[in-house]
Amino acid sequence: MSRPLHNLRRRLLSSTLRVLPSPSHRLSTTSSTPATRAPTTPVAVLWDLAASRPPSKLPLYDSAVRLHLAASSFGRLRFSAAFVHPCHRLPDPDPSADATNLCRVCGRKFRARDALLRHFDTIHTREHAKRLERIESSRGDRRVRLAASLSLKLSKYTKAARELTAGVNPGSPADELRRARVHAELSRYPSTALRDRAQEVLDDGSVGCLMLVSGREELSPLLRLAKEKGVRSVVVGGESGLARWADTGFTWAEVIAGKARKAAPSMSGKWRDRDVLKGLEWRYEDDDEEEVVFEEDGDGDGSEELAGSANGKPWWKLESDGEDSSLCT
């Protein structure tokens, strides 16, 4: 008698396990939150390197990358251009003891650059070679899955190796800017070139947010023109009075620390709310008002016309009064 009961209990347990959802499914349904919508406003970045220089302790490549991260928080980065003087050169690396060399793969810090290169070649280069051998030895679907799982590590190693090889002899900043996907334009008058390019961008109407990386107050007419055209303006590095003409402004320290990236969503929300309220507010327009013209009939004040009517009756009698009296007779 105990064996059939045991089989029945096992059948019931299997049926309940089949009905109950998996823990991962329960977790995904309960912890799923609606994804925040990323801003889609086209953003243009125009950078005058002579008027707004990033901190010298940070490489120019890292400064440009963090500037792009801050700009992409305001919307979709459409293009980025930097205007550089041909005689501009990058500062030499700081030889003091406080300057540290960071490994971009594992995050380890080294005092000497030779130690960083030795560590990178001994550990990360060998690991990269082993990953490539695993991908080459695999076949079919296993190779596709393995390449997809290791793609992040492979790209991370490639970027770190490119940075190490490019930072050996720092020279022209144009090469560093191009590595960060910034269009570097050489000009003997960077501020004039930036003004002309910003004027073209505002006339085209292809962007909704303009980020100026400059500290020259001569660019304030551009910011006023952007406000008239409904284009949001952001100033970076404008410790002078240029930032007061823009919708918002940040220093290089705030951009590098990530404060500008964190403040961008709230600023974009305030701008959207302001646009909605501006569309709903009532405005008084003088052109729509109909002009009332009073005709002058000489010296009379119009009392005679008010006292009489078409039938010659006084003004206090109605037309229905005559009809009622005729019916009664």
Each residue's pLDDT tens digit, 94-140 = 544 445 688 888 988 888 888 888 899 999 999 999 999 999 999 99
- Tell me what the mean pLDDT of segment 186-200 comes to: 89
CATH 3.40.50.2300 fits 39-86+187-278, yes or no: yes
- Tell me what the mean pLDDT of segment 38-61 comes to: 83
Residue 165 has pLDDT above 80, yes or no: no
Question: What's phi and psi for 121, nearest 5 deg?
Answer: -75, -35
Q: Which of 69, 66, 64, 70 is nearest to 47 (CA)?
A: 64
Long-range contacts of 200-207 (CB under 8 A, 24+ apart): 201/44, 201/46, 202/226, 202/229, 202/231, 205/229, 206/42, 206/44, 206/78, 207/41, 207/42, 207/43, 207/44, 207/78, 207/231
| H or E, element range at 214 | none
Q: Compute the distance between CA of residue 183 and CA of residue 84 in angstroms, rounded to an integer.
A: 10
- Tell me what the mean pLDDT of segment 206-225 comes to: 88
Domain chopping of the chain, boundaries: 39-86+187-278, 100-171
Residue 264 has pLDDT above 60, yes or no: yes
pLDDT at 292: 52
pLDDT at 17: 43
Helices in the chain by DSSP H: which ranges? 2-19, 23-30, 60-74, 113-119, 125-137, 140-149, 151-166, 173-179, 190-204, 220-228, 252-257, 259-280, 303-307, 319-328
Question: For residue 93, what is the DSSP state?
Answer: P
If phi over 0 gives left and psi between -120 and 50 gives alpha, with beta otherwise, what is residue 253?
alpha
